[in-house]
């Protein structure tokens, strides 16, 4: 098994963005930053989260254990992080 089975938050009015294989969903809004869930569009598994990493003073991707990503998925994640700046 490559990742844990979870369901994205389906809040009313929560903005979600999708690429071919990934869904980005706001999980938590903090006073200055956001926590974004990254989900598989194929099986609703959470693949990781994007959140603020204070030591680097920027957003970073924190993958779930035993997940695997190809170059296209990594490019989608990178693009989403760049949009959070």
What is the structure's pLDDT at 55?
98
Specify the pTM: 0.80
Q: Which two tokens stand for residue 26?
A: 């706001």
Mind giving me the DSSP string for the chain? --S-B------TT--EEE-SSEEEEEEEE-SS-EEEEEEETTT-BEEEEEEEEGGGTEEEEEEPTT----HHHHHHHHHHHHHH-
What is the structure's pLDDT at 15?
59
Cβ 63 vs Cβ 47: under 8 Å: yes
What is the structure's pLDDT at 44?
82
Domains of the chain by residue range? 16-84
pLDDT tens series, the chain, 85 aa: 333 333 444 443 455 788 888 999 999 999 999 999 999 999 989 999 999 999 999 999 999 999 999 999 999 999 999 999 7
């Amino acid at each position: 098994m490559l990742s844990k089975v979870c369901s994205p938050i389906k809040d009313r009015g929560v903005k979600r963005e999708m690429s071919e294989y990934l869904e980005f969903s706001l999980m938590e809004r903090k006073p200055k930053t956001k926590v974004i869930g990254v989900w598989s569009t194929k099986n609703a598994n959470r693949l990781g989260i994007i959140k603020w990493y204070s030591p680097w003073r920027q957003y970073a991707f924190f993958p779930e254990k035993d997940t695997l990503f190809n170059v296209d998925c990594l490019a989608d994640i990178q693009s989403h992080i760049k949009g959070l700046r």
